[in-house]
Amino acid sequence: MASHKERMLAGELYLADDPEIVADAQRAALLMERFNTSSVSAPELRRQLLVELLGSVGDGVGVRPPFYCDLGYQISIGSGTFVNYGAIMLDVAPITIGADVQIGPNVQLLTPTHPTEPEPRRAKWEAAQPIVIGDNAWLGGGAIVLAGVTIGENTVVGAGAVVPRDLPSNVIAVGNPARIHRHLP
C-alpha cells in the first residue's frame, strides 16, 4: 500500500499528518522563516533560500516576503516572474508558474481539496489538484486561484477575483466567480 506522501503526490486522498509530509512541511517552514526575515540588502541569500525551498526558480525571479507555502518543492517559477508581498501557494499538488508572470499582493494559489462528505472530512482526508499559470499572465492583488485551474498565457485576472475553473489565453477575467470580461488582441 502506498504511503500517504505517495498518495498525495499521485493526487489521491491522503492524510496530511503523515510523518513524511509533516517533515517536508517543517523543512519548508524553516526555509520560509529564514526567507521572510532576510534583509533586502541580501538578494543573493534570498535567491539561495528560494532555490533551496522551491522545486525550480528561473533567472530574474523576484519574490517579496512574506511568502508562504506548504512544501515548496512542488512550486516551479519561470524566469522573469515577480511575486508581490503576501503570496500564499499551498502546493500539496504541483504549482507551475510560467515566465514573466506578474503576481499581485496577497494572491492565493490553493491546490488542496477536501471531501464534501462529512465523515471523510472529519477523518481529515484531503486531496489536491495542480495549478498552472501561463507565461506573461497577471494575477491582480488578492486574486484566488482554486485547485485544478489552468490560466492561459497573457491572461489578466482582476484584483480580488476567484478563479474556480480554467481561463483561456489572452483574456481579462474579473469577479467571483471569475468570468471573461473581454478578449485581448
- What DSSP line would sit under 139-169, residue for residue? E-TT-EE-TT-EE-TT-EE-TT-EE-S-B-S
pLDDT at 132: 98
Q: In whole angstroms, give the CA distance from residue 51 to residue 137.
A: 22
pLDDT at 154: 98
Domain total in the chain: 1
Residue 126, beta-bridge partner list: 14
pLDDT at 181: 98
Q: In whole angstroms, give the CA distance from residue 93 to residue 56.
A: 15
Q: Residues 63, 64, 65, 69: is their CA dihedral positive or negative?
A: negative
Helix (H) or strand (E) run with residue 99 in it: none
CA-to-CA separations, 117 to 45, 165, 175, in angstroms, rounded:
45, 22, 28
Q: Phi, psi at residue 158, to the nearest 5°?
A: -65, 155
- Establish whether the linkage from the previous residue to 66 is cis, with ω within 30° of 0: yes
- Per-10-residue mean pLDDT, the chain, length 185: 92 95 98 96 96 98 98 98 98 98 98 96 96 98 98 98 98 98 96
Q: Say what the pTM is.
A: 0.97
The three cell numbers of residue 85 are 508581498
The three cell numbers of residue 74 are 512542488
Residue 139, beta-bridge partner list: 103, 157
Range of the domain at 134: 4-183
pLDDT at 1: 78
From the number of C-beta atoms within 10 Å of its C-beta (0-12, 13-18, 19+), residue 73 rates as middle
Q: In whole angstroms, give the CA distance from residue 179 to residue 162.
A: 9
Q: What is the CATH number of the domain that holds 27?
A: 2.160.10.10
**Does residue 114 have an active-site annotation?**
yes
